[in-house]
Amino acid sequence: MKFMKALAAGVFAGLALAATSASASVLDTVKQRGVLNCGTDNTAPGFGYLNTTTGQMEGLDVDFCKAVAAAVLGDVSKVKFITVTDKSRFDAVLTNQVDVVFAHTTIKPARESAIAIDFLPINFYDGNGVMVKVDSGVTQFSDLEGATICTTQGSSTEMVLTNAFKARGWTTSKVLTYENLEKLFAALNSGRCNAMSTDKSALAAWAGNSPKPADYLILPDTLDKSPFGGFVVANDSKWRNALRWVHYGLFQAEESAITQNNLDEKLKSEDPFVQKLLGVGGGYGKDFGLADDFVAQSIKAVGNYGEIYDRNLGPNTRMYLDRKGTANALWTQGGAIYSPLWN
């Protein structure tokens, strides 16, 4: 075994041109590299979407990527978007190909236990919904017994649907899986699928952006909760903690009414808490291996959580998802967006 170890070490040395020791945190790797490799989808409007007319990436997940890049490297342009699919997103993190993934991923225990990844805080509260075409005459989920319901391969919805059929004793219903959402939507439009099921936000995006939004009906039923979060490779608490507090910084900034526009005023603020949060004269960043002004940097880049939400899912977008009264509202307004105590 010693011999094997030596051989393996030799091979590693030969292969690893820019080898980093296995114990080094991703945080150090990113800082050394000077670029953040962020895994996102590029076909999910509102979350990770490549706008083919401008050639720019946009969406809530994309903004979180930018916020992390700004917080860690102090420069929002130092982010590289790497496309991941529902199928490849876990492998991408496990193989160090990306440093963090924000790809509308549902947080569930099996993923953390079996796949060796760690989730970051929830950045969007969603639920598994079902969408049908209006002319099918279906108005609620229980009408769909015996139907073919389609979803994406490797998504959590696959299991949710199977369990929903089981719970209702539907033996003739079928789950059909496609490898991406655009094929799913095409199959729904053609009539191959009687219903399409995925996260409600995505359903709203596809219906809202389609030429005839009135043709589609998102059923009132929510099959299951589907909280989204980014994730990083397991057992790297340094990196994970830094990213967690980047999230909480965005949440807290909304609570403390710090926006992209008033950031410069707030930097001059007399309030000691706001000063410390924004890293004026010492802050919270040092302990995480970040710059003291990391919250200020991320707000400068993309704004607070409310601004990120409104930019991508707010009233001025085609896929408007109202925040009021949902879990996505700030906790002060009855929602679940909540930052732990900073002081």
Partner 1 sequence: MIAYAFKWSRHNLFAKPFDALLSLIVIPGTLWLIYSALAWAFTTAQWDIIPQSMRVLMIGIFPADQVWRAWTAVGIIGALLGAALGCVFSFRVHHAFILAVPPLALAVSGQGMEVSGPAALVVAILGCGWALTSYVPLARKVLLPASFTGFISIFAVMAPPGVGLWGGLLLSILLTLVTAVLSLPIGILLAFGRRSRFSSVRVICTGYIEIMRSLPLILVVYWIWILMPVLATGWNLADVARGMIGFTIFYSAYVAEYVRSGLQAVPQGQTEAARSLGMSEFDINRSIVLPQALRVVVPPLVGNVLDIFNAAPLVFIIGLTDFLRAGQMILANPQYGDRTYEVYSFLLLTYFLAGSMITYAARKLEAHMAVGSR
Partner 2 sequence: MSINETSAAPGVVDRDQQQARRLRNRLRYDAIQFAIIALAIALVGVLAYCVKEGLAAKGIKFSFAFLANTAGFDISEGKTLSFGEEILPVFEAFTSDRTNGAAFVTGIFNTAKVAVLAIVFSTILGTLFGVGRLSTNWVVRNLCFWIVEFVRNTPLLIQLVFWYFAVVLQFPPLASAAKWYGGVIISQQGLHFPSLSWAGDGSPISIALATATWLAFAGAVFDPVGKMRRACMIALAVMIGVLLATDMLSVDYPVASRFQASGGTSLSPEMAALLLAIVVNSACYIAEIVRGAIDALPKGQWEAAGSLGLSRRDTISDIILPQVFRVVLPSFGNQYISLTKNTALGIAIGYPDLFNIYGTVANQTGHSLEGIVIVMASYLLLSWTISAVVSFADRRLNVVGAKR
- State whether the Cα torsion 73-76-80-82 is positive or negative: positive
Site string for partner 1, 28-47 (x = CB under 8 A): --------------xx-x--
The site partner of 110 among partner 2, partner 1, none (C-beta below 5 to 8 Å per kind) is: partner 2
Burial class (CB in 10 A: 0-12, 13-18, 19+), 85: middle
Q: Which is nearer to partner 1, 115 or 267 (CB)?
A: 115
**148 contributes a contact to partner 2 by CB under 8 A:** yes
H helical segments located in the chain: 2-15, 26-33, 60-73, 89-94, 109-114, 156-168, 181-190, 200-209, 237-255, 263-267, 272-277, 294-302, 305-313
Q: What phi and psi, each to the nearest 5 degrees, are found at residue 83?
A: -70, 130
**Which of the stretches 60-68, 178-186, 280-288, 289-297 binds partner 1 when contact is defined by CB under 8 A?**
178-186
**222 contributes a contact to partner 1 by CB under 8 A:** no
Site string for partner 2, 219-248 (x = CB under 8 A): --------------xxx-------------
The site partner of 267 among partner 2, partner 1, none (C-beta below 5 to 8 Å per kind) is: none
Query: At closest approach, how far in Å is the CB of 111 from partner 2?
Result: 8
Q: Which is nearer to partner 1, 95 or 262 (CB)?
A: 95
Most distant pair of Cα atoms in the chain: their distance: 70
Structure tokens at 325: 């009264």
Site residues (CB under 8 A) for partner 1, limited to 58-87:
80, 82-85
Site residues (CB under 8 A) for partner 2, limited to 174-203:
174-179, 183, 186-187, 190-192, 194
135 contacts: CB under 8 Å, gap ≥ 6: 215
**55 contributes a contact to partner 1 by CB under 8 A:** yes
Query: At closest approach, how far in Å is the CB of 82 from partner 1?
Result: 6
Query: At closest approach, how far in Å is the CB of 324 from partner 1?
Result: 25
**134 contributes a contact to partner 1 by CB under 8 A:** no
- State whether the Cα torsion 264-268-273-277 is positive or negative: positive
Report the distance separating Cα 243 and Cα 13, nearest Å: 31
Query: At closest approach, how far in Å is the CB of 190 from partner 2?
Result: 4
The site partner of 178 among partner 2, partner 1, none (C-beta below 5 to 8 Å per kind) is: partner 2
> Token pair 């993309």 is at which residue?
302
Evaluate whether 150 touches 195 at the Cβ level (below 8 Å): yes
Nearest Cα to Cα of residue 178 among 90, 88, 108, 86: 86
